[in-house]
Copies of this chain bind each other. A is one copy, B any other.
Amino acid sequence: MKPFEKLVASLRRLPGIGPKQAERLALHLLRASSTEVEQFQLSLREVRERVRPCPVCLDYTDQPTCRICADPAREERVVCVVEDPTDVAAVERTRRFRGRYHVLHGVLSPLDGVGPENLRIRELLARVGAWGEAGGEVILATNHDTEGDATALYLGRLLQPLGVRVTRIAIGVPLGGDLAYIDEQTLSEALAGRRSV
């Protein structure tokens, strides 16, 4: 294969990049300034060399323990379980959560061959199990789709016997959501989850 086609092929392996966009990206990378390309290569190398899963929550970090797990101000026994590191960033942006995280690094997906053994579930059970009598809360914040719901259900069953409070993030009409255009499943869950005002 020629160098340009090889680069296009490499770019096509990235998630969400189709053939046309791979060509466009390759063309950009060929034409870009040396500074831009060197910065990109440097940041890729740095991420690969320095970023590792935090031994506590398994979020990625370039420190021995991640910023959140190392922060004594964060509640230790309120753990928000998410699928991916990008979900940690999303919850953090709300500035409403003062607990900690546990990153599963995926979601149960039998069709893609992802079973419980492929997720960081053992680490979650060990962590929560160590709370003992003190108790605590595990918030299941996997996505609200078939796989995320199934994963939450599965984790709920494993966690309940440990004597902790297990919750699921609320499902309902999103901000700006027009009732006329929202899918009926969401709307019926929003009704079922109604609260006194």
Please report A residues at the B interface, Cβ cutoff 8 Å: 2-4, 6-7, 9-11, 13-17, 20-21, 23-30, 34, 36-37, 39-41, 43-48, 50-51, 60, 62, 84-86, 89
Q: What separation, in Å, do the CA atoms of A10 and B41 have in the docked complex?
A: 9
Asked if A84 contacts B50 (CB within 8 A), the reply is: no
A40 smallest CB distance to B (angstroms) = 4
CA distance A9 to B45 in the complex (A): 14
Cβ-defined contact, B25 with A10, below 8 A: no
Contact A30 B48 (CB under 8 A): yes
Given contacts A3-B51, A41-B44, A43-B3, contact A16 B24 (CB under 8 A): yes
Chain B residue nearest to A31 in the complex (CB)? B105
A23 to chain B, nearest CB (A): 5
> In angstroms, how far is the closest chain B Cβ from the Cβ of A106?
10
The answer to whether residues A47 and B7 also contact, given A27-B84, A27-B85, A27-B86 and a CB cut-off of 8 A, is yes
Complex contacts, A28 vs chain B, CB 8 Å: 14-15
* Contacting pair A47 B3 (CB below 8 A): yes
A3-B84 contact given A14-B25, A36-B13, CB 8 Å threshold: no
CA distance A46 to B26 in the complex (A): 12
Chain B residues with CB under 8 A of A21: 16
Q: Are B44 and A29 in contact (CB under 8 A)?
A: yes
